[in-house]
Structure 1
Amino acid sequence: MAADPQQASTRSRVEAFDVLRGLVVVLMTIDHAREYSNGPGSVTDPMQLDQVEPLLFWMRWVTHFCAPVFTLLAGVSSGLQGHGASTAGTAPWSWHLITRGLILVLLEFTVVHLAWTFSLVWPMRYAQVIWGIGMSLIVLGCLQRVPVTARLALGVLLVAGHNALDGWHPTSPTWLHWSWAVLHDRQVMPLWGDIVVRTSYPIMPMIGLVLLGDALGRWYRVRAHVTRPRVLAGAGVLMLSLFVLLRATNVYGDPHVAVYSDSALHTVMAALNVTKYPMSLSFVLMTLGPAFLLLAAWDAKVPRWTAPLATMGQVPMFLYVAHLYLLHVLALLWAMASGLAWSTFDFRATITGLPNTFGFPLWQTFPFVVVTLLLLYPAAVWYARVRAARRYRITRYL
């Protein structure tokens, strides 16, 4: 491996990972574009089976793949770049991972927060997926002296075992309540004045996914290409089989049991309606199973039509930030074009600033997404070239 991890990863990229990231970017854009349909706050939970139409449910469900795939591949990137060593007692702490994680956490509460709110006074800060990945990278960076096999075992334990703690909700002392909110229990925590933080993504299972991804990336570096597809496909089938078993028996894997009925559609939706915050074992199995099958199918060669996805997948953090700002701007322009006066916009009353009278039919989300992606793609091409040229040191982190 070259001394510079960025140079090494540029020369030895696994194209299937880029395509998978690019596909997730598209799904992520669908999910966030949907947030602007039907008026702000009109649907509190798009997975509430007795309150939402099937189209809304499926639009939300298909985007479930974003967070776990992004998190796993963050660990894979570290493993491919070979941060640290594979034996205990010799590996340094990875300051690259620690500082990168700290930057992601900072971005979550500044740049990303501003993208959602367009406001400096919105009182709630959301600890979402970028925060979770950042915290997980910090943990991975601090565990470089731990053998890879031990980190792999810890990752499995965190992902598969954290649901055993679903019934524990400590409220005191404050330090324990806050610590558990960060690790496992989605909560709102007051800071000062009217400022609060919501731990949308508790990090315990995300740490596990990053540790598993790091082991997977290291496995990619040593595993023969001819046998990889079979192993990946077997892992994907195993995960999906375990998911079906857990949801059919309702014995473990998700804090919300599936309630089935005589309706075939409702039964399928109930089985797929698993917990995202924090990511339950069933949620991870349901989303990463298909991801592993795609990696197996694309291991030898990705289809030619995926080239734009590969380009977007090379700059996922850039597109994450850019698409949030672009969607928000387009929604504001859409609202004004529909005749709403600027005086009706209130960035203290709603998270987006949009008046409650603004909204559009759910199906119009799709042209909204297409326009957004058409505008984002040239920017992705430009930024990929900038980063490949290594003109700025900060692009190693972003």
Structure 2
Amino acid sequence: MSSIRSTRIESIDILRGLVMVIMALDHARDYTNTGYMFADPANLETTTPFLFFTRWITHFCAPVFVFLAGTSAFLYGSKKTSKNNLAKFLFTRGLWLVFIELTVVNFSWTFDISLSVHIFQVIWAIGICMMILAALIYLPKKILLGLGLLIVFGHNLLDGITEQGTEPLSLLWYYVHQFNFQVINEGQGMLAIAYPFLPWLGIMILGYCFGHFYQSGFDAKIRKTWLLRFGIGAIVLFFILRFINVYGDLKPWLTQDRFTYTVLSFFNVTKYPPSLAYTLMTLGPALIFLYAIESIKNRFTNMMLVFGRVPFFYYILHLYLIHLIGMVGLVILGENWQELILTVDRFKKGYLFNIGFDLWVSYAVWILVIVILYPICKKYMQYKASNKDKWWLSYL
């Protein structure tokens, strides 16, 4: 690692790498654990504390990734001579990410060559938010910050607005703020809009403004002071809002028959779309992690650095690898491996709901995937570092 020179900020890459590694656990569970992606690990009527935690810990991934995408955009722009260059990069990269989501990433999730299931997840959200941010960066910094705060803290006021059906305005609202799975084309296609973009745009804007603390020459002591303040403040505000139980999440927590499950209910916040409580719960600890990791250097941080410097490359590879392992798992179980070619009919049928491995197998697969991908990602990271003149590498 010491032979690779980079102007990138290591603590940001380490955090990004960590959440990418954690993310793979959720996807390993999706393709190996009983119920596959058809069962809800956060359903308090059927889950266990360990299964709930396995899902809960991965909640940190998407908001941190989107937030840091905004931060990276700011830092990228700080090296350019004009905002026009940054706007062009954000728009073209965002358009590229939306295209990749609906083709390469969609196929990795379904292995359905017809691409009849159109899944809009985190890569789409980052892409569309980048395209919008390309215009917003021309706003004064204070107004941009205010807009980000307004979206993150105020978008739950829109929770009561819901649409149904496939009318144009309904579809538009699904993309903006309402989680929705919608059968289309007379049952031959499906829209799975898991990441309505508006709340994620607020998170990305705040990440962009956050990049101010990592500008060249910014006092590290002042930065760490604010990281700690923001992190602790977000966590405290999460507990206050969640305890009051009036605003900030679609699902108020409820007292359960057992105390353990009451605790689970308290932390069972809404990801689709990301509620204020969800955002505070995840970004608060992430900021404290950045505070703590800034001056630490060891084998663990070196490993996370690898994944954090080639996140898109890693993201694509890990989806295909986990899906393939899931198919092998079905063969081991004596099932038809083609059940993991997820067509519209298979989504509607849900045959895999009661089939799969115990949770420990998902953890074993997760570790296996990380071990396999680490040397590949390290080689690619070294290639990128040695070929900075190749502009197209910034899109991979």
Q: TM-score, structure 2 length as denominator? A: 0.90
Q: 1:396 maps to which residue?
A: 394
Distance (Å, rounded) in 2 between the aligned partners of 1:219 and 1:388: 24
Mapped to 1, the partners of 2:255 and 2:124 lie a distance apart of 35
Aligned to 1:368: 365
Question: What does the per-residue CA deviation read over 1:45-95, in whole Å, with 9 as the maximum and x for residues that have no partner?
Answer: 211111212211110000000000000000010111226999xxx843711
Question: Which residue number corresponds to residue 321 of structure 1?
Answer: 316
Partner of 2:99: 106
Any stretches of 5+ residues in structure 2 without a counterpart? none
Residue 190 of structure 1, CA deviation: 5.5
Taking structure 1 as reference, are residues 169 and 381 closer, same or farther at Cα in structure 2, changes over 3 Å only? same
Are residue 210 (structure 1) and residue 204 (structure 2) matched? yes
Note the C-alpha offset of 1:144.
Answer: 2.3
Q: CA deviation at 1:392?
A: 4.0
Q: Relative to structure 2, which stretch is displaced further, 306-315 or 220-229?
A: 220-229
CA distance in 2, matches of 1:197, 1:43: 16
Q: Given that residues 345 and 354 in structure 1 are in contact (C-alpha distance below 8 angstroms), is that contact kept between their aligned partners in structure 2?
A: no
> What RMSD, in angstroms, separates the aligned Cα atoms of the two structures?
2.5
Indicate the SS of the match to 2:220. Answer: coil
The equivalent residue for 1:381 is 378
Contact 2:28 2:365 in 1 (8 A): yes
Of the structure 1 ranges 334-343 and 112-121, higher mean CA displacement relative to structure 2 is found in 334-343
Residues 161 and 323 of structure 1: is their aligned pair in 2 closer, same or farther, counting only changes over 3 Å? same
Q: Report which of the two has the higher share of helix.
A: 2
Check the 8 A contact 1:345/1:355 in 2, yes or no: no
User: After alignment, is 186-195 or 44-53 more displaced?
Assistant: 186-195
Unaligned runs of 5+ in 1: 1-9
Name the structure 2 match of 1:290: 285
Give the ranges of 4+ consecutive aligned residues of structure 1 lying more than 6 Å apart after TM superposition. Answer: none
> What letter matches 1:81 in structure 2?
Y
Partner in structure 2 of residue 3 of structure 1: none
Aligned to 1:257: 252
Partner in structure 1 of residue 195 of structure 2: 201
The structure-2 alpha-carbon separation of the partners of 1:370 and 1:170, relative to structure 1 and needing over 3 Å to count, comes to: closer
Checking the alignment, whether the CA contact within 8 Å between 2:103 and 2:115 is kept in structure 1 is no
Q: 1:332 aligns with which of 323, 327, 331?
A: 327
Q: Give the counterpart letter for 2:77 in structure 1.
A: G
Task: Determine whether 1:53 maps to 2:51.
Answer: no
Maintained 8 Å contact 1:154/1:208? yes
In structure 2, relative to structure 1, the CA distance for the partners of 1:112 and 1:305 (3 Å cut) is: same
Residue type at the aligned position of 1:215? C
Match runs of 1:130-169 below 5 Å: 130-169=123-162
Instruction: Tell me the residue number matched to 2:167.
Output: 174
Paired with 2:250 and 2:339, the residues of 1 have a C-alpha distance of: 41
Deviation of residue 289 (structure 1)? 0.7
Verify the 8 A CA contact 1:91 1:145 in the aligned structure 2.
Answer: yes
Q: TM-score scaled to structure 1, two decimals?
A: 0.90
Secondary structure at the aligned position of 2:19 is classed as helix
Shift of 1:385: 1.5
Q: How many residues align?
A: 385
What is the CA–CA distance in structure 1 between the aligned matches of 2:37 and 2:323, rounded to whole Å?
A: 17
Structure 1 residues 161 and 358: CA distance shift in structure 2, 3 A: same
Deviates more, 1:116-125 or 1:388-397: 388-397
- In the alignment, the residues of structure 2 paired with residue 69 and residue 382 of structure 1 have an alpha-carbon distance, to the nearest angstrom, of 25
- 1:104 is paired with a residue whose SS is helix
Residue 37 of structure 1: CA displacement? 2.9
Distance 1:197 1:314, change over 3 A: same
Cα distance 1:43–1:58, how it changes in 2: closer, same or farther (>3 A)?
Answer: farther
Q: How many Å apart are 1:195 and its aligned residue?
A: 2.3
Q: Secondary structure at the match of 1:18?
A: helix
In the alignment, residue 246 of structure 2 is paired with which amino acid?
V
C-alpha change, 1:396 and 1:359, in structure 2 (3 Å) is: same
Name the counterpart of 2:113.
120
Aligned equivalent of 2:59, options 41, 57, 64: 64
1:19 corresponds to: 14
Q: Distance in 2 between matches of 1:294 and 1:307?
A: 16
Aligned-pair CA distance for 1:117: 1.0
Cα distance in 1 for residues equivalent to 2:255 and 2:376: 46
Would the alpha carbon gap of residues 102 and 122 (structure 1) be closer, same or farther in structure 2, given more than 3 Å must change? closer
Moved more, 378-387 or 129-138: 378-387
